[in-house]
Each structure stands twice: as C-alpha cells, then as structure tokens.
Amino acid sequence: MLLQLATWPEVETYLESSTAVVVPIGSTEQHGPNGLIGTDAICAETIAREMSSRIDVLVGPTLAVGMAQHHLAFPGSIALKPSTLLALVRDVVESLLCHGFSHLYFLNGHGGNVATVGAAFSEVWSARSFAGSSRATPRLRLRNWWTGARVMALSAELFGDAEGSHATPSEVSLSWYAHADAVKDVSLTPEQAPDGVIRDAADYRRLFPDGRIGSNPGLASVAHGERILAAALEDALEDFQRFTEAD
C-alpha cells in the first residue's frame, strides 16, 4: 500500500496488523551527462514500490531531495544542508511514531544522505534518553539499496570496476528501466570517469568535470536495469524482513 494513495482509515486498519513502514529517500542531483537528475530518488522509490507489490507493507512518500551540496556547481541539482535534512528526517520519524509506527525503514538511494540520516536517528533516540523516557524504543534503519549482496554481485558481473561510485551504470540502468522514455543517448569522454574524494561544489566540478566519479554509465541499459531491480528487490525484502523480525 502506498501512503500517498491511501486514506487515513486504511492506515489505521493497517496499523492493527503491522507497525512497519518503508520510506524511500533519494536526492535530486546531477548524474553525469547521461544519468537522470532524479536517479537516486527514482531508484529508491522504484524498489520500495516493488516491495509493496510483493508484501503487505506501507510505503511512504519519497523524500526526493537530499544532502547534495557537492553537486551544486551543476545546474538542476537541489540540495539540503545537513542540518536541514536532519530536521526533515527527524520530523518525518516523529510524525510516524505519533501514529504508532515502530519500525521505520528508510530505503536510501544516495550516499550523501548516510551520515546525516544516521545523525537524525541519533537525535530521535537522544531526545528519549535525555527525557528518561521508557516508551517503546523506535526501530530505525537506513538501508543503501546498492549494498545488497545480490546487487553487488550483479553489478560486478555486468560492469566490473566501471561501476565507479557516482552516476554508476547500475543506478543509471535502474532509473532508465523505471523511465524508459527518458533514456539518453550520449557519448562519454573519457569512457570511465576519474576517481577521487568529495569536498565542496567548486572542487567537485574541477575534479569531476562531467559529474561522474569513477564510473562508465555508457554501459547502462534498460535490460540491465530490469535485472538490477530484481536483485535489489530480493536484497531489500530479505533485509526488511530481518529488520522487522529482529525484535
């Protein structure tokens, strides 16, 4: 069930049998010359929606803007500061906790979100600790879809070290599978982008002039995207089940 397409009585009924919810989180940022700006949000949302078609789980709205300050030298990128994202995630968590949700599973499409979302979870737990609260402890998890065992094995098989770390052929393929009408036919020079560290926006554009890091998304295809999605779905379902059954 998708929260955006449900009514409040439906959510109330859902809570009688489950208190788990999946929240896709991504980013709106450049993904090189042939990757869609919405890639990170599209990937997380696509996998989460597939989860809801396989199991009875509520999927919340996609948080489609993330901590992406380092992409701001490329037009179209929209970023939240770490402090803004922290406040956003914390408010989303607290809202869901108000209704009795206990297990909040953030399915993540963007590496830049990881540290800040982790800090937001710490803020939620910290507020309870300092208040001496003995109410039920919220179970909060951030899961990067691309780190599952099946996805990692498949991306290694399909792309090897051309996977890189930003604008990867895996994520570009998956976003193209979700939006086949938006596939871009662009030649990339060099084929494989340079590697390096991320700091601020001007530094990023100087080091990675076309936006990619270490990747060759010229290898991306809709057909690969279908396989990546299938692998990511199995990884996510397995991890989500472990999360909800842990305690």
User: Nearer to Ni ion by C-beta: 40 or 50?
Assistant: 40
Q: Which is nearer to Ni ion, 21 or 235 (CB)?
A: 235
Give least dist CB 57 to Ni ion, A.
Answer: 24
Task: Spell out the residues 6+ positions from residue 101 whose beta carbon is closer than 8 angstroms to its own.
Answer: 15, 19, 20, 21
First and final CA of the chain: distance in angstroms?
A: 23
Angle at 152 between CA 148 and CA 158, to 5 degrees: 145
Quote the CA–CA distance of 50 and 174 in Å, as a whole number: 13
Residue nearest to Ni ion (CB): 40
**Nearest to Ni ion of 171, 235 (CB atom):** 171
User: Which of 29/50 has CB closer to Ni ion?
Assistant: 29
Distance between CA 147 and CA 70 in Å, rounded? 22
Query: What is the rounded distance in angstroms from the CA atom of residue 84 to the CA atom of residue 67?
Result: 9
Q: Which is nearer to Ni ion, 40 or 163 (CB)?
A: 40
State in angstroms the smallest separation of the CB of 171 from Ni ion. Answer: 5
* Secondary structure class of 39 (helix, strand, coil): helix
Binding site for Ni ion (CB under 5 A): 39-40, 171
Question: Minimum distance between the CB of residue 53 and Ni ion, rounded to whole angstroms?
Answer: 23
Least distance in Å: CB of 71 to Ni ion?
10
- Distance in Å, CB of 175 to Ni ion, minimum: 9
